[in-house]
Amino acid sequence: MNTTASIRPPAVAGMFYPGNARDLAGDVAAMLGAAHPPALRPKALIAPHAGYVYSGPVAAEAYALLSPLRGQVRRVVLLGPTHRVPVRGIAVPSVAAFATPLGVVPVDREAIADLAGLPQVGISDAAHAQEHSLEVHLPFLQAVLGSFALVPLAVGHVSPGQVATVLERLWGGDETLIVISSDLSHYHGYETARRLDRETADRILRLEPLEDHEQACGATPINGLLEVARRKALTPTLLDLRNSGDTAGDRSRVVGYCSVCFTEAGHDR
């Protein structure tokens, strides 16, 4: 195997986040240091995927929860919506690893092999090559977890029930964390976005499925998680709810972000 060809290189380093390791590590550490999450042990997280100047502080509120779990969480199942390549179903890559300026994250090929019999799952390196919705989470995960294996899932046109089936198969125990990548509303005025995003967050906290992708670009994987959360009686906790007008200043056309933690009964710290 050609080792270089089997690693998916970073596609948005230098755009969505710093392109060199020193600056990236410093920015991530600063955002994590400014976060003040509650004492919860997450089984699943929802976190945003915009450029760090916009959504990084909101994502950090979720990822700061993981620092005590370094060495415990050894596998991250990461689902995000596709933005560049149309996908029918859920796309997995064929590569052995994903790279960021902070290093290389191995792909859990055994876990992906476990999905091979599901008709909604197929291989597409093209779906992953330029996709930012998964990549932007990796530096945070590298910072808080250190060594872990990744199950990267690019979610396209698929039913929430089919997403839920994949999540159930990969659910695992305390060694496995589920992360859903999603922003909320796009390009409304500041006050309108605050109202819409609060309604969306409240639906998530009630474990009610979202109605469309105007509420959240990752509505499909969110709804898949919510279906499993209802079955498994997970408890959601809102960690942060802001928009780009709060973080980057311009309030004329904003994008909304939230971070949500889902805990299992008896798994609080």
Domains and their CATH numbers in the chain: 7-263 (3.40.830.10)
For the chain, the straight-line distance linking the first and the last C-alpha, in angstroms and rounded, comes to 43
Q: Which two tokens stand for residue 129?
A: 């090559």
Closest listed residue to residue 129, CA positions, set 169, 98, 102, 156: 98
Sign of CA pseudo-dihedral 31, 135, 163, 267: negative
What is the pTM for the complete model shown?
Answer: 0.96
Asked if residue 92 has pLDDT above 80, the reply is yes
CA distance 224 to 104: 28
Q: Phi and psi for 130 in degrees, rounded to 5?
A: -115, 10
User: Mean pLDDT, to the nearest integer, of 128-154?
Assistant: 98
Helix (H) or strand (E) holding 123: strand 121-123
Decide the pairing of beta strands 103-106 and 97-100: antiparallel
Model confidence band, residue 266 (pLDDT cutoffs 50, 70, 90): confident
Asked if residue 176 has pLDDT above 90, the reply is yes
